[in-house]
Chain A
Amino acid sequence: MTERRYVEKDYLKELSYRLARRGLALDKIGDILAEVETHVAVTGEPAREAFGPPAEYARNWERRLRVRRRVTVCVLVLSAGFGWAISVGISGVIDGKPTLGLGAWWWLGIGLVLLGLAALAAALRPHAWHTAARGREQRREVLVAAGASLIFVVGFVSVIGGALMVGRGDPVVGLGHWWLIVPGLALVVAAASIVPLARVLDPRSGKPFFCTRLGFVLTVAVLTVLVTVAFLGVGLALR
């Protein structure tokens, strides 16, 4: 009996992941997971037999994916633009040279505008920041999300600035590149660990099905390390 329960939990976790990848709203995912649990409890039919493999079942729920993909591409392009503009801005602050005729502060300003647009596009996604939390808890989560975003931006800019310094060798405000990269990475991971994303709530109890935060933290950490390595490569190439 205990073993059976663990098997079902694994099924639900994988299904949750597959549905989230397909862009379903978190409250809808909670609804689908609860339906699976109830169906299994009432009929006694194993989940895999009744619903098929999680990936296959998730495909049956696919909706308006093209629209969501367009929004996702838009968010990614704007975020990349933000990263590029901020990097160019930091580079300009370090060496005082304009890029494409614009000074460092122009680039930093453009970067912030692009960040705002990316955040706006992300907010337009149907499931973005949707936590199914209500009332006071929802307000608290929005505040935590805003704080986490701020910490993330500071950490991200710090990491990229440090990585670009590798190719120049000049310290920024008296700090070497590792003094920017390491704390920057720590800030990014800290931001990822408090951001209230990926909470799938059980519609029956209002409690989370399971904590997927660790996976989110690891994903952000790995992506940030990859971005850092890429910028380190650019920095070394410029040397």
Chain B
Amino acid sequence: MDGKSIAWPTAWTRASLELTVLALVCSHGPTHGYDVAQRLLDAGLGEVKGGTLYPVLGRLEEQGLVGSHWTAGDGGPGRKVIEATTAGRHALATRRAQWEEWAGRVAAVLRDGTGERA
């Protein structure tokens, strides 16, 4: 199944976006907003528009999980460079463990309706 052509339910994207964006910034930072959008698309999570992505990055910045600064552009407008902070990397480790636990429980319920994990 090609992830790029799948229209995932908006609610799923919304629920996972903050965590996936943080993970991509941690793995590929320093980076730019549009680079994160491209990586989400390449990962098969669908096209995330700037109108959705930048406020998520803004929230992560407000929480102190990513930092940013502007650099001069080559003949074009300057670019905003974003990078994970130490707090961001710690938060990612914690949230990733929680997400895996959550996803496992959801999968168990979907599999046999009992919620008992395999």
B55 adjacent to chain A (CB < 8 Å)? yes
Instruction: Point out the residues of chain B lying under 8 angstroms from A57, CB to CB.
Output: 51
Distance (whole angstroms) from the CB of B38 to the closest CB of chain A: 9
Asked if residues B50 and A34 are in contact (CB atoms below 8 Å), the reply is: no
**Residue in chain A with minimal CB distance to B38:** A43
Asked if residues A51 and B49 are in contact (CB atoms below 8 Å), the reply is: yes
Asked if residues A204 and B50 are in contact (CB atoms below 8 Å), the reply is: no
A163 adjacent to chain B (CB < 8 Å)? no
Of the residues B33, B51, B77, contact of A41 by C-beta under 8 Å: B77
* Number of residues of chain B lying within 8 A (CB) of chain A: 19
In the complex, what distance in Å separates the CA atom of A98 from the CA atom of B80?
62
Asked if residues B51 and A204 are in contact (CB atoms below 8 Å), the reply is: no
Given A39-B50, A61-B55, A34 and B34 contact (CB-CB distance below 8 Å)? no
Q: Which bucket holds chain A's interface residue count?
A: 20 to 34
Within 8 A of A (CB), among B34-65: 34, 49-52, 54-55, 58, 62
Of the residues B34, B58, B70, contact of A42 by C-beta under 8 Å: B34
Binding site for B on A (CB under 8 A): 31-32, 34-39, 41-43, 45, 49-52, 56-57, 60-61, 63, 203-205
Majority secondary structure, A binding face: helix
Among A34, A35, A49, A205: residue with most chain B CB under 10 A:
A35
Distance (whole angstroms) from the CB of B90 to the closest CB of chain A: 24
Q: Kindly supply a per-residue 1/0 record for chain B positions 70-88, scoring 1 wherever the CB is within 8 Å of any chain A CB and 0 otherwise.
A: 1011001111100000000
Instruction: Point out the residues of chain A lying under 8 angstroms from B51, CB to CB.
Output: 50-52, 56-57, 60
In the complex, what distance in Å separates the CA atom of A48 from the CA atom of B70?
23
Given A42-B34, A52-B49, A204 and B54 contact (CB-CB distance below 8 Å)? no
Instruction: Point out the residues of chain B lying under 8 angstroms from A35, CB to CB.
Output: 33, 50, 54, 80
In the complex, what distance in Å separates the CA atom of A50 from the CA atom of B53?
10
Of the residues B52, B70, B77, B80, contact of A60 by C-beta under 8 Å: B52
Of the residues A32, A38, A39, contact of B78 by C-beta under 8 Å: A38
Given A51-B49, A52-B49, A60 and B73 contact (CB-CB distance below 8 Å)? no
11 inter-chain pairs at a CB distance below 8 angstroms, sorted by A residue, are A32-B54, A34-B77, A35-B50, A38-B76, A38-B80, A39-B33, A50-B50, A51-B51, A52-B49, A57-B51, A204-B78
**Residue in chain B with minimal CB distance to A205:** B78
Distance (whole angstroms) from the CB of B70 to the closest CB of chain A: 5
Instruction: Point out the residues of chain B lying under 8 angstroms from A34, CB to CB.
Output: 70, 77-78, 80
Distance (whole angstroms) from the CB of B84 to the closest CB of chain A: 18
Instruction: Point out the residues of chain A lying under 8 angstroms from B79, CB to CB.
Output: 38, 42
Instruction: Point out the residues of chain A lying under 8 angstroms from B49, CB to CB.
Output: 49-52
In the complex, what distance in Å separates the CA atom of A87 from the CA atom of B80?
51
Distance (whole angstroms) from the CB of A67 to the closest CB of chain B: 14
**Residue in chain B with minimal CB distance to A47:** B50
Instruction: Point out the residues of chain B lying under 8 angstroms from A32, CB to CB.
Output: 54, 58
